[in-house]
């Protein structure tokens, strides 16, 4: 394993030391564990995407290439044109 020196704010150091004492493991192990958990959570979906994940692709009757040709479809429906008052 390689060594890396990092400067941390005092409250974070105190938190790491407290966790280290509580779990009876080294401070390095606590930091490694936190970094691994943080990198794993970055690979998960953001909360907003997770909230609508079941809706993605659930609307029927839309063209298959809508995401590619959206301007053409909007033009054919009249979206964005000025309307008489």
Query: Is 38 a member of any domain?
Result: yes
Q: What is the DSSP string of 12-57?
A: HHHHHHHHHHHHTS-HHHHHHHHHHHHHHHHTSPPHHHHHHGGGTT
State the pLDDT at residue 43.
61
What pLDDT, on a 0 to 100 scale, did the predictor assign at position 5? 93
Residue 83 in any domain: the answer is no
Is 18 inside a domain boundary?
yes
- Domain count of the chain? 1
The chain-wide mean pLDDT, for the chain, equals 85
Residue 30 CB neighbour total at 10 angstroms = 19
Residue 47 banded pLDDT, cuts 50, 70, 90: confident
- Is 82 a domain residue? no
Q: Pick the more confident residue, 2 or 53.
A: 2
Per the structure, the complete domain to which residue 35 belongs is given by 10-77
Per-residue pLDDT of 4-44, as tens digits, reads 999 999 999 999 999 999 999 999 999 999 998 887 765 66
32 occurs within a structural domain: yes
pLDDT for 44 equals 65
For residue 66, tell me if it sits in a domain: yes
For residue 5, being part of any structural domain is answered with: no
For residues 34-63, give the mean pLDDT: 77
């Amino acid at each position: 394993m390689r060594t890396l020196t990092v400067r941390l704010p005092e409250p974070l150091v105190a938190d790491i030391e407290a966790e280290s004492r509580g779990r009876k493991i080294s401070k390095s192990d606590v930091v490694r564990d936190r970094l691994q958990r943080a990198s794993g959570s970055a690979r998960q979906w953001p909360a907003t995407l997770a909230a609508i994940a079941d809706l993605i692709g659930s609307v029927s009757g839309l063209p298959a290439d809508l995401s590619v040709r959206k301007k053409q479809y909007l033009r054919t429906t009249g979206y964005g044109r000025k309307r008489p008052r």
